[in-house]
């Protein structure tokens, strides 16, 4: 009997399963919307499906040139795989420079070999959102992103009465006796006063002792 632990994993089968899983997440309605969005911008019409439309990279380069303010991307129409992959790579470099985050950008093989058409669609959707930020008249593909509200600033704690950072005993909102119009002698007894009282008590005790001795 064959030991299941000794059996090698079927890598090709695993890759195939993952590919099918990614395909199952592909949203055809969004793909149709993305196709129409691209065609409206470059001013063309076609009956090709979304992936077939952009697979050679030519349409993607045309899309990039519609928003390229620095220099026009040079591309070639060819059936040769390396030429088409080069076209795709030029588009990817453009969208990253345009502001699309790296983790939202597909790799060349994701499109050309259709390894992950879902991330390809996600890249076009993300690109449309950044285009919309710079060109508000151009709609986005899919639902608009809601703006994140900044967190509320925490309120400053109220200083406790009689404690203000340990520097003084008056609250920051308190006033000095002179500002209140009162004599400083009316405000409680300070440390010096307490020491005077204690000293007075000692003198009184000594006087009482003298009286007892006289008696």
- Greater confidence (209 vs 82) lies with 82
Predicted TM-score (pTM) of the model is 0.61
User: Phi/psi zone of residue 142: left (φ > 0), alpha (ψ -120 to 50 degrees), beta?
Assistant: left
* DSSP at 23: H
Structure tokens given for 185: 């002698």
pLDDT(142) > 70: yes
Spacing of C-alpha 204 from chain mean position: 74
pLDDT band (50, 70, 90) for residue 154: confident
The helix/strand/coil state of 212 is helix
Predicted confidence (pLDDT) per residue in 24-83, tens digit = 789 999 999 999 999 999 999 999 999 999 999 999 999 999 998 888 999 999 999 999
- Greater confidence (53 vs 3) lies with 53
CA angle, residues 80, 76, 90, in degrees to nearest 5: 95
pLDDT average, residue stretch 135-161 = 74
Predicted confidence (pLDDT) per residue in 74-101, tens digit = 999 999 999 999 999 999 999 999 999 9
Q: List, in order of start, the domains of the chain with CATH numbers.
A: 14-134 (1.10.418.10), 150-215 (no CATH)
pLDDT average, residue stretch 150-170 = 60
d(CA 144, CA 146): 6
Structure tokens given for 181: 């119009």
pLDDT at 194: 46
pLDDT at 125: 97
pLDDT at 25: 81
pLDDT band (50, 70, 90) for residue 160: low
């Amino acid at each position: 009997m064959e030991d299941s632990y000794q059996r090698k994993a079927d890598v090709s089968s695993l890759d195939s399963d993952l590919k099918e899983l990614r395909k199952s997440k592909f949203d055809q309605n969004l793909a149709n919307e993305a196709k129409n969005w691209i065609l409206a911008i470059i001013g063309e019409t076609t009956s090709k499906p979304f992936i077939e439309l952009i697979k050679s990279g030519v349409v993607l380069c045309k899309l990039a040139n519609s928003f390229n303010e620095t220099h026009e991307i040079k591309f070639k129409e060819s059936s040769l795989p390396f030429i088409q992959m080069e076209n795709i790579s030029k588009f990817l470099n453009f969208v990253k420079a345009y502001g699309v985050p790296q983790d939202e950008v597909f790799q060349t093989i994701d499109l050309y070999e259709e390894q992950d058409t879902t991330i390809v669609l996600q890249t076009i959707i993300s690109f449309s959102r950044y285009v919309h930020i710079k060109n508000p008249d151009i709609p986005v593909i899919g639902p608009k992103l809601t703006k994140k509200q900044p967190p509320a600033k925490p309120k400053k704690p109220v200083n406790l009465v009689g404690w203000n950072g340990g520097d003084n005993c008056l609250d920051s909102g308190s006033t000095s006796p002179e500002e209140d119009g009162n004599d400083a002698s009316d405000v409680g007894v300070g440390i010096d006063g307490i020491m005077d009282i204690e000293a007075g008590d000692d003198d009184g005790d000594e006087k009482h002792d003298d009286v007892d001795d006289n008696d």
